[in-house]
Amino acid sequence: MAAIWPDPARRYAALPAYFTATLRHFHLPAGGVQVASDRDDRICAVAVWDPPGEWEQPAGRTLRALPDLVPALRFRVPAAIAVRRVLEAHHPRDPRHWYLANLGTAKSHRGQGYAAALLADRADTAPNWAQFLVCTQQHNVAYYERHGFSVTEEFELPGAARPTMWAMWREARI
């Protein structure tokens, strides 16, 4: 997200509207969103998966999302388009995989295994399918490797910061 919003304050201000728009228009309709909750039914972690063959955002769906996306992105639309193009260029063409678009845990619940449970659940409930993700933080590469993912490629996103990304793949279990 830093490649779209280099300024942390602007990024954190924009992310709620951005995630709301992308969840509403892309990920929820595809049916791959998972949540983990605690004993009090508070959502602790979310895994946003795109099912096999659903990771590309169809033009019609993107057009319908614009009224929600443009206010979230504001003047960062060109940056978002540039980032999306690079991510698409590095996405595997094999349609037989789940794509982990986002994985996040509430600060109050980090380190308690909620995200790990979501990763394990996808492997257990879809053992015939590989999984792909793009890791955006070097310190998270080892985390995903512990969960069976391997780095397949390193690449940079456009923009002044040129952040490094790690494409990662986990083979199907069956």
Q: State yes or no: pLDDT of 58 exceeds 90.
A: no
Which pLDDT band, with edges at 50, 70 and 90, does 161 fall under?
confident
Which pTM was predicted?
0.92
Among residues 81, 163, 89, 97, which one has the least CA distance to residue 133?
97
Q: Where are the domains of the chain?
A: 8-170
List, for residues 90-120, the tens digit of each pLDDT value. 999 988 899 999 999 999 999 999 999 999 9
Q: CA-based angle 71:30:141, to the nearest 5?
A: 80
Label each residue of the chain as H, E or C: CCCCCCCHHHHHHHHHHHHHHHHHHHHHHHCCEEEEECCCCCEEEEEEEECCCCCCCCHHHHHHHHHHHHHHHHHHHHHHHHHHHHHHHCCCCCCCEEEEEEEEECHHHCCCCHHHHHHHHHHHHCCCCEEEEEECCHHHHHHHHHCCCEEEEEEECCCCCCCEEEEEEECCCC
Q: State yes or no: pLDDT of 60 exceeds 90.
A: no
pLDDT of residue 160: 66
List, for residues 70-82, the tens digit of each pLDDT value. 999 999 999 999 9
CATH number of 8-170: 3.40.630.30
List, for residues 16-40, the tens digit of each pLDDT value. 999 999 999 999 988 889 999 999 9
